Amino acid sequence: MKNLKIVKSPITPAVSPAGIKVLGLLQKGCAYHVRGSWRFRGLRDQVREQTLLSLLQVGLAERVETDRHAQVRITPAGRSINDESERAWHHAPGDAKPH
């Protein structure tokens, strides 16, 4: 994913490469807040709160409060941006993968 660029179209907000990565993780499952940091199940590293806040601010993710902890999940708009960025990455010129 190192060839990702900031995705921006006339109707969508700019999303950083870190934001695209987090959207991809959110597509697979929620981020959750535990012991002072944001994490994804199965990953050891924490997610920078600034990245999540930027996605929340532009409406690509939403915060959900549960009985046990706070969660962030992807919105339909975020899912659309994630799908668009995956298509752009897979079809980028010069990135064709041999079969």
Tell me what percent of the residues of the chain surpass a pLDDT of 70. 76
What's the pLDDT score for residue 76?
Answer: 93
pLDDT of 90 over the 90 cut = no
The third-level CATH classification (topology) of the domain covering 7-90 is Arc Repressor Mutant, subunit A (1.10.10)
pLDDT digits (tens, 9 = 90+) for 13-38: 678 889 999 999 999 989 998 888 99
- Starting at the earlier edge strand, list the strands of the sheet with 37-40: 46-47, 37-40, 31-34, 70-74, 61-65
Between vectors from CA 41 to CA 19 and to CA 33, what angle results, nearest 5°?
70
Domain ranges of the chain: 7-90
Q: Is the pTM of this model over 0.95?
A: no
